[in-house]
Chain A
């Protein structure tokens, strides 16, 4: 048995696509540009990053759906390119979204089919399927056709499917998309239990709290490369020496946001919309008190609550990703 569940060295992937029919144009996207990763047995590892960072591409190279353009990877010691069968026996894959199921079959039939396909022994199938339906709380609806399921129910069925053959390594690509808060909490509990019983989990998510709660270690990937790697506590240190000011506001313009970014001491400024309000988050060096300057820049805007707090994992994430976004134009010139 290999010491590491997942090992990747210099993993790369370039997509080539042709667009246009009369005058074909070749387009190349370097989705992953050299990822090194080792994940130990039983570890719960998180992969975070903005849209298009290359998370899904990385996962698909590790689970044999894509052949890497460069580098190599091994799962439980088996190479993902040359020992595909061995790798596939040991992995489960769950992706977010509601596709990938047979709509006109029931949940039970879907699981039965995949149990056959994934080689779950016949006499064990019934019990295993019952167990999993109960785990994802689809028992009772299991004989209804999947086409009548809600998004979250489909997602839960996906998860049951991924677990059918008791994989040693589980790839979860945004498994909590469209799952309601209570079910999401149960899902987190399930994932934590799996990891506690020795399953290795590689998880991608856009919910920082989820990653913070679950993952032993996290890699932040952006622009096809790992930008930071460590425990949630270690990552939080990327925002060390910073303070966060949160301002609830109504009607902040892009111009004002840009002006705030240039204030002395301000490191990042971002804006989220929460209901009718905007929430402006300003990260600054701890030595500066930027509150007065920020409020002055927002002159004339109706404001709500103003709070100052310690940075969270999310702030650290924003700091890491924004640093990369700033570096990117320089890189483009170099290339």
Chain B
């Protein structure tokens, strides 16, 4: 159910003209950004790391905007009532959607790497290609589960859209997707430690560069994500009940 749902939602998402345009342009911009940042820093050896980081930013943006808006989106489509009518826990109904946003985000990762290779000749020599192939889906799964928490939080909060925009960059930064965490002020440490994005990004980077063991980071990422999933599921049930009482499932 989850797999078919996520795939079909990814299909629906990836066919939106808006998504397609952004998907074409953003990776090029990100690849360029990454390359110049690191060239300026005089560290051409870390170009691959930069490209991977930029790709992760793409996944994160997709999850943040996609999952944050998931419920609102379904409401606009008029499908929210129909999916909530399914005899399943509401969290299970929404999870495929947030997984789908992470899945479409993967494309950003791949595209950034491909553009980096084509335009700037970044060598794609992963230190541990196999682990990389595991870490990326793992990270995506984690982000998808984190997305559920986002989705339910954003329904509860009225000005969710404003929040979406303010969350995008800080989380890139704090999670160390582009800049190593060690370069950030110390107070961000604890924040970073509870974000699944931090650990996911770390696992993917470790796999790409061979700078450390991948499993612990990936494990922590998934553990935190599972906690988010549980919390998100609870909130989702609460949100669904409230929506049925307040008549906000339909587009009034």
Complex Cα–Cα for A240 and B177 (A): 79
User: Quick one: given A105-B11, A113-B5, are A67 and B244 in contact (CB under 8 Å)?
Assistant: yes
Query: Are A118 and B86 in touch, CB under 8 angstroms?
Result: yes
Task: With A88-B85, A117-B1, A117-B93 as known contacts, state yes or no: A99 contacts B8, CB within 8 Å.
Answer: no
Contact call B244/A104, Cβ cutoff below 8 A: no
Q: Mark B10-22, 1 if CB is under 8 A from A, else 0.
A: 0110011000000
State which of A88, A93, A161 has its C-beta within 8 Å of the C-beta of B87: A88
Question: Cα distance A91–B82 when bound, in Å?
Answer: 12
Write out the residue numbers on chain B whose beta carbons fall within 8 Å of the beta carbon of A88: 85-87
- A102-B12 CB under 8 A given contacts A65-B81, A66-B244, A116-B4: yes
Q: Kindly state the separation between the CA atoms of A116 and B252 in the bound complex, as whole angstroms.
A: 28
B88 proximity list for chain A (CB < 8 A): 117, 119
| Contacting pair B12 A15 (CB below 8 A) | no
Whether B85 contacts A63 by the Cβ 8 Å rule is yes
Alpha-carbon distance between A64 and B249 when the two chains are bound, in angstroms? 11
Interface presence of B188 (CB below 8 A): no
Chain B residue nearest to A109 (CB atoms) is B8
Q: Is B191's beta carbon under 8 Å from chain A?
A: no
The answer to whether B82 touches A66, judged by C-beta atoms less than 8 angstroms apart, is no
Per DSSP, are chain B's interface residues mostly helix, strand or loop, or mixed?
helix
User: For residue A161, which residue of chain B has the nearest CB?
Assistant: B82
> Bound state CA distance, A249 and B157, in angstroms?
57
The answer, yes or no, to whether A217 is at the interface (CB within 8 Å) is no
Closest to B17 in A: A104
B40 within 8 A of A: no
Q: A-B pairs with the 9 shortest C-beta distances?
A: A99-B78, A100-B78, A104-B15, A88-B87, A117-B86, A89-B87, A113-B8, A67-B245, A116-B4
Tell me the complex Cα distance, A16–B246, Å. 8
Other A-B pairs beyond A112-B8, A116-B4, A119-B1, 4, CB < 8 Å: A16-B246, A93-B82, A101-B78, A113-B9
Give chain B's interface residues, CB within 8 Å of chain A. 1, 4-5, 8-9, 11-12, 15-16, 77-79, 81-88, 93, 241, 244-247, 249-250, 252
Contact in complex: A105, B12 (CB < 8 Å) = yes
Cβ distance B10 to chain A, nearest Cβ, rounded Å: 11
Q: Is the CB of B87 within 8 A of A118?
A: yes
Task: Kindly name the residue among B16, B85, B252 whose own CB sees the greatest number of chain A CB atoms within 10 A.
Answer: B85
Closest-by-CB residue of A relative to B13 is A104
A: number of interface residues (CB 8 Å) = 32
Residues of A within 8 A of B77 (CB): 99-103
Residues in A whose Cβ lies below 8 Å from that of B83:
117
Does the CB pair A113–B247 fall under 8 Å?
A: no
A104 near B5 with CB under 8 A, answer no
Q: Return chain B residues, CB-CB under 8 Å to A85.
A: 87
**How long is the Cα–Cα vector from A290 to B5 in the complex, in angstroms?**
64
Contact, CB under 8 Å: A101 / B244? no
Name the CB-closest residue of A to B251.
Answer: A99
- Complex CA distance for A63 and B11, rounded to whole angstroms: 29
The contact sample of 5 A-B pairs, CB cut-off 8 A, is A91-B85, A93-B82, A101-B77, A103-B12, A145-B15
Interface contact B12-A65, CB-CB below 8 Å? no
Q: Determine the distance from Cα of A161 to Cα of B79 in the docked complex, in whole angstroms.
A: 12
Residue in B4, B81, B85, B245 whose beta carbon sits within 8 Å of that of A113 in the complex: B4
Shortest Cβ distance from residue A249 to the other chain B in the assembled complex, whole angstroms: 40
Residues of B close to A17: CB separation below 8 A: 252
Question: Shortest Cβ distance from A76 into chain B, in angstroms?
Answer: 13
Q: A101 contacts B85, CB within 8 Å?
A: no
User: Using Cβ atoms and an 8 Å threshold, which residues of chain B touch A93?
Assistant: 81-82, 85
Tell me, in angstroms, the Cα distance from A85 to B237 when the chains sit together. Answer: 13
* Residues in chain B near residue A100, CB distance under 8 A: 77-79, 81-82
Let me know if B247 and A66 touch, CB within 8 A. yes
Which residues of B sit under 8 angstroms from A288, Cβ to Cβ?
A: none
Q: Which B residue sits closest to A94, measured CB to CB?
A: B82
Please report the C-alpha to C-alpha distance between residue A17 and residue B247 in the assembled complex, in whole angstroms: 10
Chain A min CB distance to B208 (Å): 33
Chain B residue at smallest Cβ distance from A31: B247
Please measure, in the bound complex, the distance between the C-alpha atom of A195 and the C-alpha atom of B82, giving whole angstroms: 23
Provide the bound-state CA to CA distance between A227 and B80, in Å: 32
A207 on the interface (CB 8 Å rule)? no
CB distance from A51 to the nearest CB of B (A): 15
Q: Which of A17, A89, A109, A116 has the most CB of B within 10 A?
A: A116
Q: Complex Cα distance A17/B15, Å? A: 36
In the complex, which of the residues B5, B11, B244, B252 contacts A117, with contact meaning CB atoms closer than 8 Å?
Answer: B5
Instruction: Please give, as numbers and ranges, the residues of chain A lying within 8 Å of B244 by CB-CB distance.
Output: 64-67
**Which residues of chain B are near A102, meaning CB under 8 Å?**
8, 12, 77, 79
Enumerate chain B residues within 8 angstroms of A116, measured Cβ to Cβ. Answer: 1, 4-5
Query: For chain A residues 67-110, which have a beta carbon within 8 Å of chain B?
Result: 67, 85-86, 88-89, 91, 93, 97, 99-105, 109
Name the one of B4, B78, B87 contacting A119, with C-beta atoms under 8 angstroms: B87
Complex interface residues of chain A between 110 and 125 (CB less than 8 A to chain B): 112-114, 116-119
Q: How far is the CA of A119 from the CA of B88 in the complex (A)?
A: 9
